[in-house]
Amino acid sequence: MRAVVVAQYGTRLEVMERPIPRPGPGEVLIRVRASGLCSTDLHLLSGRMPLGELPRILGHETAGEVVERGAGVATPALGDRVTVAVDVVCGACRHCLSGQTQRCPAMRRIGFERDGGHAEYVAVPAANALPLPPALAYDAAAILPDAVACMYHSLRCQGKVGLGQTVLILGVGGLGIHGVQIARLAGAEVVATSRRPERLQLAERFGAIPVNTDTQPLAGVVREWTRGEGVDVVVDNIGTRASVREGLSLLRPGGKLLVVAYLDESFEVPSIPLFKAEREIIGCRGSSRQDLIEVVRLVGAGKLTPVVGAHYPLEQIGAAVERLERGDLVGRIVLTRE
Interface positions with Zn ion (CB under 5 A) = 38, 40, 89-90, 93, 96, 104, 146
Closer residue to Zn ion (CB): 41 or 232: 41
Q: Least distance in Å: CB of 276 to Zn ion? A: 35
Q: CB 140 → Zn ion: shortest distance, Å?
A: 16
CB of 224 to Zn ion, least distance (A): 34
What is d(CA 188, CA 260) in angstroms, rounded to the nearest whole number? 19
CA distance 11 to 13: 7
Shortest distance (Å) from residue 91 CB to Zn ion: 6
Distance CA 225, CA 194 (A): 18
| SS3 state of residue 283 | strand
Closest to Zn ion by CB, 89 or 186: 89
Write down the H helix ranges in 146-228. Answer: 149-152, 176-185, 197-205, 218-225
- Close Cβ partners of 301 (under 8 Å, ≥ 6 residues apart): none
Pairing mode, if any, of strands 332-336 and 308-313?
A: parallel
Least Å distance, CB 50 to Zn ion, is 17
Which CB, 20 or 90, lies closer to Zn ion? 90
Shortest reach from residue 249's CB to Zn ion, in Å: 28
Residue among 104 and 233 whose Cβ is closer to Zn ion:
104
| Nearest partner of 249 among 215, 266, 265, 226, judged by Cα | 226
C-beta of 90 vs 263, nearer to Zn ion = 90
CA dihedral 195→267→96→94, nearest 10 degrees, is -160
For residue 313, the tally of other CB atoms under 10 A from its CB is 14
Q: Assess contact for 110 and 62: CB atoms under 8 A.
A: yes
Is the Cβ of residue 38 or residue 186 nearer to Zn ion in the bound state? 38
Q: What angle do CA 192, 196, 198 make, to 5 degrees?
A: 90
In angstroms, give the least distance from the CB of 40 to Zn ion: 4
Q: In the complex with Zn ion, which residue's Cβ is closer, 146 or 236?
A: 146
